[in-house]
Amino acid sequence: MPDVERVPTAAVGGEITPRGVMSHVMQGWQATMIRWARERPRVTPKSAHFTIGRDGRIVQHVPIRRQAWHAGRLDPGEPPRWSLLPPGANPNDYAIGIEHEGFSGEPWPDAQVQATIRVHRWLFAELGLVPSEETVIGHFVTAPASRAADPGPTWPRARILDALRDGDSPAVLTRADYDRAALRAFLGVREHSYRVREDERWQYIEIRRPMPTTDRASRGG
Ligand SMILES: [Zn+2]
């Protein structure tokens, strides 16, 4: 990516065909991953294409058409839930990995949100990806049990998708940007969801299912 810092790592594999961009939360600090990237000759077998600091610092570690090592471990007995991943495939062969500094559940600073939007925008243009919940993904889609909280309930997926779809300059992050799909995965529930109200209380909501309701109405009940 042009105009970003580069710290290449030796933790890199062969050529890949990215089908989506997977976000992670580090449960730690960007400096740690930069240190791992610089290690020679010992190699920590963990890497991401990009790391993004809480202050908005963007560092690229792996070329986007080479494999980074961020999502290779699957959950035994819990198959991946990513429709674009071929059966039995290694997610690292199909997903760009972005590691975000911080801890699951902590609010994301606006500088970090703006930086991840910038990286997503460049990646989507460069790779010709179409923004959707299948291309803007979190680690929880391929490791639904062990990584249910990665990147966690404060991952601003809705904000990222809005920015990719509108092409507008993203506004300041608000509490309402907390992503419902990620929160749902975090809480392990499917039929209902929550959102964070302006007063920071969680509000229980039902997931809307417009199709069956419309069908029933059109058939006259
Ligand atoms: Zn992860």
pLDDT at position 175 = 42
- pLDDT bin (cut points 50, 70, 90) of residue 19 is very high
Ligand 1 centroid – CA 102 distance (Å): 12
Look at 175 and 102; give whichever has higher pLDDT: 102
The pLDDT, as a whole number, for residue 89 is 95
Distance of CA 107 to the CA centre of its chain: 15
Q: How confident is the model at residue 120 (pLDDT cuts 50, 70, 90)?
A: very high
Mean pLDDT of the chain: 83
The pLDDT assigned to 57 comes to: 98
State how beta strands 136-138 and 20-25 pair: parallel
Distance from the alpha carbon of residue 30 to the mean position of ligand 1, in angstroms: 14
pLDDT digits (tens, 9 = 90+) for 133-180: 999 999 999 999 999 999 999 999 999 998 998 754 444 444 444 455
Q: Both ends of the chain: CA-CA distance in Å?
A: 55
Q: How far is the CA of 218 from the centre of ligand 1 (A)?
A: 45
Other C-beta atoms closer than 10 Å to the C-beta of 185 total 25
Instruction: Name the pTM for this structure.
Output: 0.77
Residue 169 has a CB neighbour count (10 Å cut-off) of 8
Residue keyed to tokens 């969801």:
193
Give 92 Cα–ligand 1 centroid separation in angstroms: 11
3-state secondary structure of 139: helix
Where is pLDDT greater, at 9 or 167? Answer: 9
Residue 198 annotated as catalytic: no
pLDDT at site 165: 87
Mind listing the domains of the chain with CATH numbers? 5-169 (3.40.80.10)
pLDDT by residue (tens digit) across 20-56? 999 999 999 999 999 999 998 888 999 999 999 999 9
Q: Catalytic: which of 5, 15, 39, 99?
A: 99
